Structure 1
């Protein structure tokens, strides 16, 4: 059973406008933060396909309660814009998503100044990114992963100098096993993890069978297996693509609703990021202990964690 979230008053402000160019629509974000506290780390979160800054409430509230300032942009693939795979703008949205994240980070200081009571309390030296599904590929680019086109050289390096840590939740794997539909409509879904060098937590569901890949759930572990970065992997045996309902309660995409599972994912992400950003590994050791007890108990709620064979993240 996941531990309760810290009892903490939160403040949320939306929409806030971020300066941007070439996207055909204003870039809006939502900021959620603790009402008190100082030296707060910042987490920029990229939503999955069709979602927006208004989703992922269970995750965001728990992260903010853990002490993070969470910034959520709305990307162009959000349902509110109605841009489908047949829209001529769709093939370039993967680039626009990455540009959105860069714009947020480039204007982070001015953005947080607009949140009442927040100026001076966030720590611009402690910045992380996280993303779910397509948002995982978007944030992976800021962590060092590149995109391999069907032919030719890899795309440019999209890393951002402010980003010190990351988390990829049900993020797509490499492109060799894409289905015919994905090859035709999502040719950019070909990440190269050999250049991902930022400490990263990868979260995957043991029942996440994607219609975009001919492989099974292990497709979503590629960032952990193939990255040279110090990565950690959280595997949830019964987790499907929304890992229990990350985007919200009773939403139509959730096929495995489990509030405890969502809390576990939120806590593991927060623990990993705090370890990397602050050097305090206490919360991560608690996640490891919970994983040990889960393995021993067995049953449908089992989950596990492992680290890549590199020096512990807490030493960085």
Structure 2
């Protein structure tokens, strides 16, 4: 109940408005066509820290494709420090919610990594589960943290000694997040944001002041219709405000995130829809775009509406 009260207060505070995020303003390197991985990967994981000596150090969990083991049908095999698979992979910045941690979202993020994405998940300094000075108001600073992480990854990709160097497709980045992390994700799409940021997934979240401006990017919203913490109406209002191609995946009767747990109703549909959305937006995979309606369709469990998606 304490988490629910904190999250409900978060919605009130964020809907009241807060300062827009500070985004990177470079246009990024030229975008070239990418080939969709023909198979699933095993997954490696490592920890990095952005600005370790600064006023706001940012620990980050990074999941990435690796060739080190055969993927398991029950979920990806995850090996700390395993070698990165050959090739360059698009990047997903994943933001956790209040009183949470990146590893609590591993059932989703590791499966995205197995599908051919590098997933970088920050532990936000004042909203994570172990924060000593927890404050929900700090969510307004997290979009800028996301952009700090993007700039760090751009630099890291050029450092020959780093295991991820040469493996990050930093021209193809998506942002995603759950609850407060969904608000954080929306807050990264502000006026003047870099064209590196090509797509967003807002799960059980909504918009921040200044969201949905700048270069148009496709957005996917995922929300439980019975969410008592962040009401679905908040997510639908953000969907209505967003610009350009967008989709809204609703889960009737579901709450704030049980559909993110493997085996629970809706998980398979959320996984398939988000994965194919990322394949379409970051790999230019048109068959994945055409699969979205079938991915999301399970009568009584999920429903999907879309706006301006390419034919």
Q: TM-score, normalised by structure 1?
A: 0.71
Q: Which residue of 1 aligns with 2:302?
A: 303
Taking the aligned partners of 2:120 and 2:295, their CA distance within structure 1 comes to 28
1:130 — aligned with what? 176
**Structure 1: tracts of 5 or more residues without a match:** 1-5, 145-156, 174-189, 250-256
For the 8 Å contact 1:47–1:74, the answer to whether it is kept is yes
> Bigger shift: 61-70 or 45-54?
45-54
Q: Find out whether 1:221 has 2:236 as its counterpart.
A: yes
1:140 match: 186
1:166 to 190, 197, 200: 200
Change beyond 3 A, Cα 1:95–1:290: closer
Contact 1:142-1:160 at 8 Å conserved across structures? no
Q: Corresponding residue for 1:154?
A: none
What is the CA–CA distance in structure 1 between the aligned matches of 2:306 and 2:161, rounded to whole Å?
37
Using CA pairs below 8 Å that are at least 6 residues apart, which structure has the higher relative contact order?
2
Alpha-carbon distance between aligned partners in 1 of 2:212 and 2:288, rounded to the nearest angstrom? 29
Deviation at 1:13, TM superposition (A): 0.4
Q: Which residue of 2 aligns with 1:178?
A: none
Unaligned runs of 5+ in 2: 1-38, 67-84
Please give the residue correspondences for 1:31-70 in structure 2 after superposition, counting only pairs within 5 Å. 31-35=62-66, 36-70=85-119
What is the CA distance between 1:267 and its match in structure 2? 2.4
Which of 211, 220, 238 aligns to 1:201? It is 220
Cα-to-partner distance string for 1:122-181 (whole Å, 9 max, x where unaligned) = 21111111111111111111123xxxxxxxxxxxx47344211111111136xxxxxxxx
SS for the counterpart of 1:267 is helix
Distance 1:290 1:108, change over 3 A: closer
User: Residue 37 of structure 1: CA displacement?
Assistant: 4.2
| Counterparts in 2 of 1:283 and 1:99: CA distance versus 1, 3 Å | same
Q: CA RMSD in A?
A: 2.7
Structure 1 residue 233: Cα displacement:
1.1
Deviations 1:242-280 (A, max 9, x none): 142x3xx6xxxxxxx844523422321221122122221
Deviation at 1:283, TM superposition (A): 2.3
The answer for the alignment partner of 1:17 in structure 2 is 49
How far the C-alpha of 1:195 sits from its partner, in A, is 3.2
Residues 173 and 196 of structure 2 are in contact (CA less than 8 Å); yes or no, is this contact kept in structure 1?
yes
Relative distance call for 1:161 and 1:284 in structure 2 (3 A) is: closer
Question: Would you say the 8 A contact 1:141–1:159 is kept in 2?
Answer: no
**2: CA distance, partners of 1:200 / 1:115:** 35
Distance 1:193 1:115 in 2: 37
Give the distance between the partners of 1:261 and 1:115, measured in 2 at CA: 42
Equivalent-residue separation in structure 2 for 1:162 and 1:83 (angstroms): 33
String of CA shifts for 1:73-117, please: whole Å, max 9, x gaps: 1102112123244xxxx53x1233122111101111344559975
Q: CA deviation at 1:221?
A: 1.6
Alignment size in residue pairs: 252
Task: Report the counterpart of residue 76 of structure 2 in structure 1.
Answer: none
3-state DSSP of counterpart to 2:293: helix
Distance 2:114 2:283 in 1: 17
Q: Determine the C-alpha separation between the residues in 1 that align with 2:263 and 2:255.
A: 10
- After superposition, the Cα gap between the structure-2 partners of 1:266 and 1:290, relative to the gap in structure 1 and judged at 3 Å, is closer
Q: Which moved more, 1:113-122 or 1:72-81?
A: 113-122
